[in-house]
Structure 1
Amino acid sequence: MRIAGKIVVSALALVVFAGTAYGYSALSSLDDVKRSSVIDAGDEASPGEQPADGSLDILLVGRDSRADNDGNPLPADVLRELRAGPNGDDLTDTLIVLRIPNGTQTVKAFSIPRDSYVTLPDGDKGKINAAYGHGKALEASKLRAAGETDKKKIEQESLTAARRATRQAVENLTGVKIDHFAEVNLLSFYDISNAVGGVEVCLNNATSDRNSGANFPAGPQKISGADALAFVRQRDGVKGTDFGRMRRQQVFLASLAHQVLSAGTLANPGKLGALIDAVKKSVVLDDSWNLLDFIGQLRGISGGGIQFTTIPVVNPDYRYSTTNPRATAVQVDPAQVKAFAAGLIGAPPAAAPKQTGVVVDVANAGGTSGLAQRVSDVVKDKGFTPGTTGNAAARRTSLVRYGAALATQGEAVAKLLGGLATAESADVPAGHIEVTLGQVYSGPGATSGSNSTGGNPIGGGAGAAGSGDTPITGAGNNCVD
């Protein structure tokens, strides 16, 4: 099973944050951390700069790698303790953006589901966690075609291209200009959670999962090492599966932030040294990041001042492939995600464009009470004119019909509602789009708590779809499933 819990990418940032109060001179040894040219030259934020987009933005990436920073395979005994198999891959299982708004000490962190279906930097459509592997493979092929034979050089330059591709995919989706980049693997997570002496978490119910190795009682408890990895890795048996796992990750990071920043972990020379050693083992930073200057900018941040949430999601069970109907991804609306990210630093979300003269009629053929009206409200929020709503003869699948003149708008409605089937028809009245919702419809408006336009979109709190979970902070109890 793929390791999904390398959320300790954020621990690097927490180390840096904590250094605003403690151990400034000791942190200078972090200059030895491995570097990579991830940020475009001339585009990076300089020390003390107030970024033009209103926020210093850090991309934190967790990579499923079974090697250390020098490319050496992790020892078999370490893999056994981590309950991890010998094979990794070039997917990024964790993507978190830290937004630090200009003039404030409040940090907003948001997760991007690893299966978010996007346009990748190479122009292909795919899941955002594949950007890393795509970028790496393309660069390796280009180097070999140019005659390069040095395997180590090909590997290192391909990894740099992979990191840049991941950064570009995140920027394209969110509209956020990434100023700094940090990447870790599972070994770093293991070492950092041990270095701080364990992290306090809380579960609503006892849980046991053979795949991840998670075996925890209900209630508050302190976890570290392999157990910490299992806590954030568990997917089976967790409410909301991948979204529930993201909430686990956020809760763990919030608790780690609170412990390190509020309890003075870095005031302890032993813990400080172990933490720095753990970071240096397997963390990769962009080569423009001056950590000591960054520390000076962030004086005063506390554990309770970091808030974690998740980008809005249109459809968590998006059937994106016509040739493989069982293939699923997470459908996201880039415009909606950009508005969400901008709103974290106070910028007003962009108004929905008006679809002048386009009326959307919605018929419920699935039998779910109130479905047609909820979906009509969804398309209204996107600028379409609501038309008639009502019931239709029962059918299993959904369909969007439109005349030739409204083909573009009809396709947009189908995409908005989760990638529904479409059909052009002369029977549809001029100026109208007809939506028929079938029994298996699961897009926006499918449940009474779901929507696709604002603060609590489907999966927005990283719990079950439409649950409306509140953001996670280091100051809360944060007991989870």
Structure 2
Amino acid sequence: MHPLGKIVVAGLALVVLGGTAYGYTNLRALDEVTRDSVIDADGETKPGEQPADGSLDILLVGRDAREDNQGKPLAPEVLRELRAGANGDDLTDTLIVLRIPNGTKEVKAFSIPRDSYVSMAGGKGKINAAFGRAKAAEAGRLRKAGETDKAKINQGALTAGRRATRQAVEDLTGVKIDHFAEVNLLSFYEISKAIGGVEVCLKEATKDKNSGADFQAGPQRVAGADALAFVRQRDGLPGTDLARVRRQQVFLAGLARQVLSAGTLADPGKLSDLIDAVKRSVVLDDSWNLLDFVGQMRGVSGGGIQFATIPVGNVDYRYDPANPRATAVQVDPAAVKAFAASLIGSPAPATSGAPAASTAPAAPVTVDVSNAGPKEGLATRVAGVLRDKGFTSRATGNSDTRRTSLVRFGPALAERGAEVAKLLGGLTTQQSASVPAGHIEVLLGTVYSGPGVSAGGGAPAGGTDEPITSNGVVCVY
């Protein structure tokens, strides 16, 4: 079975956010949560400290693992109930950063698509591979050094994988991760059941044998294996992985509402089940003082979380000439850093060694933007994005349908065309003598997911511009 996304860490983070509603006594029960040394000692956020980058940042990781948080394989009967095969890769299929600006009660959550193609330890690759690479390398190093204790090797390898994932996210986003939380298949299953399910809404009925998804259109409540299928489904959705990211976001928003509602916090049985599920299956960094965190987060409500996705470029990026069928999601680290910084109102980190290049055109150039896909109004929104960057830009209606996006220009505007392609998330470029002098043409394909798709970062093809918050239910594909 294709390794599919497994959300999420939400149970723990949201139990903590709602902690003050049921008091410190119950929260202390979470002291039994598994801990790991994920955050560098010199970078730990001390109790009561205001992070220097202006925001407390928490990395939530959902790992594609058929084992518990101690590395023990899940029983076959459990895997059958989860509708998961016995084999799973060491991949981080869900990566969400919670940004909590200093002095505010606004929580900004943003997703990083698992197939984002990035630079990381061991060379470029998909960001979800950072965990497995580091885990395998550390296990090999320990064995070579003479370690024979399997438990020690496994724990050392897991720690290395978690640290590598944290580092890859920091390198891509420019965000210093202050805390880390991880769940796997079983954790998500148990947490969603403990709270009695989550309300979601689908625009269309859908069925997928790989994930086990079989849902009707409209509002519904999902829990356990069905909830797992809801956030795992990839095949048959417009935008595939990016559509799944949006699924994860609406589920997490619903989970926030449910956990922070009186129906959960005032129900001793549900609350006890939720705490037990978190204790059994969640892994936290060992520097996270939960009681202090709850004090900092006093006043956050279920409606106070907003969700977005990092800006992305070509979602059908053929990154390996030797294997043209292999695809990834192309991302521009500079655009991602600017996006992440904008969530707390601070400037994007400066690039060392050279001043930032101006995005305003040096000579008169008109950018003609046409829509080659089904998203209504997309060309107009993208043209607006380019005008904000200093270009003269106009929407020119629809063009022949194409899957991927393209920026075309004459030889005299090669540099400017490359600039436009970069601003829109790293689109493919092409020199063409048919483009009128002084013009650059942008063709927005069906899988375009860069700036202009939504108010924040990327969004899946066929998706909606309606923002996702924990304040209400948003229907998705």
Q: TM-score, normalised by structure 2?
A: 0.84
Displacement, 1:24? 2.3
CA offset digits 1:423-474 (Å, max 9, x no partner): 9xxx9xxxxx99997xxxxxx75259968456838x9453316x56232112
Asked whether the 8 Å contact 1:361–1:435 carries over to 2, the reply is yes
CA offset digits 1:31-69 (Å, max 9, x no partner): 111111110112111111111111100000000111112
CA offset digits 1:255-310 (Å, max 9, x no partner): 11111113341222211111111111121110100111111111111111111111
Asked whether the 8 Å contact 2:134–2:157 carries over to 1, the reply is yes
Displacement, 1:324? 2.1
Unaligned 5+ segments in structure 1 are 390-395, 428-432, 438-443
Partners of 1:449 and 1:357 in 2: CA distance: 27
Is 1:188 aligned to 2:192, yes or no?
Answer: no
Partners of 2:43 and 2:295 in 1: CA distance: 21
2:237 corresponds in structure 1 to: 238
Letter aligned with residue 285 of structure 1: L
Partners of 2:200 and 2:446 in 1: CA distance: 31
Partners of 2:174 and 2:367 in 1: CA distance: 35
Displacement, 1:70? 2.0
Question: Once the two structures are aligned, what percentage of the paired residues are identical?
Answer: 67
Secondary structure in 1 aligned to 2:303? Answer: helix
* Aligned match for 2:459, one of 458, 462, 472: 462
Partners of 1:379 and 1:473 in 2: CA distance: 27
Partners of 2:61 and 2:183 in 1: CA distance: 7
CA offset digits 1:149-179 (Å, max 9, x no partner): 2222111111111111100110111111000
2:147 corresponds in structure 1 to: 148
Letter aligned with residue 275 of structure 1: L
Asked whether the 8 Å contact 1:66–1:86 carries over to 2, the reply is yes
Letter aligned with residue 465 of structure 2: D
1:479 corresponds in structure 2 to: 475
Letter aligned with residue 252 of structure 2: L
Secondary structure in 2 aligned to 1:178? Answer: coil
1:250 corresponds in structure 2 to: 249
Q: How does 1:19-418 map to 2 (within 5 A)?
A: 19-122=19-122, 124-348=123-347, 353-354=357-358, 418=426
Indicate how the Cα distance of structure 1 residues 445 and 261 shifts in structure 2: closer, same or farther if over 3 A, else same: farther
Displacement, 1:319? 1.7
Deviates more, 1:48-57 or 1:204-213: 204-213
Partners of 1:210 and 1:149 in 2: CA distance: 41
Letter aligned with residue 86 of structure 2: P
Secondary structure in 1 aligned to 2:316? Answer: strand
Partners of 1:216 and 1:234 in 2: CA distance: 11
Indicate how the Cα distance of structure 1 residues 160 and 401 shifts in structure 2: closer, same or farther if over 3 A, else same: farther
Partners of 2:469 and 2:360 in 1: CA distance: 42
Asked whether the 8 Å contact 2:197–2:221 carries over to 1, the reply is yes
Secondary structure in 2 aligned to 1:222? Answer: strand
Indicate how the Cα distance of structure 1 residues 83 and 358 shifts in structure 2: closer, same or farther if over 3 A, else same: same
Unaligned 5+ segments in structure 2 are 351-355, 397-403
For these two proteins, the number of residue pairs brought into alignment is: 456
Deviates more, 1:20-29 or 1:327-336: 20-29
Secondary structure in 2 aligned to 1:63? Answer: strand
Displacement, 1:143? 1.9
Displacement, 1:239? 2.4
CA offset digits 1:200-219 (Å, max 9, x no partner): 11222222222211112222
Partners of 1:372 and 1:41 in 2: CA distance: 48
Displacement, 1:91? 0.7
Partners of 2:255 and 2:214 in 1: CA distance: 20
Asked whether the 8 Å contact 2:339–2:457 carries over to 1, the reply is no
1:430 corresponds in structure 2 to: none
Displacement, 1:346? 1.8
1:393 corresponds in structure 2 to: none
Asked whether the 8 Å contact 1:260–1:266 carries over to 2, the reply is yes
2:400 corresponds in structure 1 to: none
Letter aligned with residue 358 of structure 2: K
Partners of 2:136 and 2:359 in 1: CA distance: 41
Indicate how the Cα distance of structure 1 residues 324 and 100 shifts in structure 2: closer, same or farther if over 3 A, else same: same
Partners of 2:155 and 2:235 in 1: CA distance: 35
Partners of 1:56 and 1:293 in 2: CA distance: 13
Letter aligned with residue 53 of structure 2: D
Once superposed, what is the RMSD of the aligned Cα atoms? 3.7
Partners of 1:326 and 1:23 in 2: CA distance: 53
Secondary structure in 2 aligned to 1:309? Answer: strand
Asked whether the 8 Å contact 2:5–2:232 carries over to 1, the reply is yes
Partners of 1:152 and 1:195 in 2: CA distance: 30
Displacement, 1:117? 0.7
Asked whether the 8 Å contact 1:105–1:305 carries over to 2, the reply is yes
Asked whether the 8 Å contact 1:8–1:62 carries over to 2, the reply is yes
Asked whether the 8 Å contact 1:449–1:468 carries over to 2, the reply is no
Partners of 1:331 and 1:434 in 2: CA distance: 28
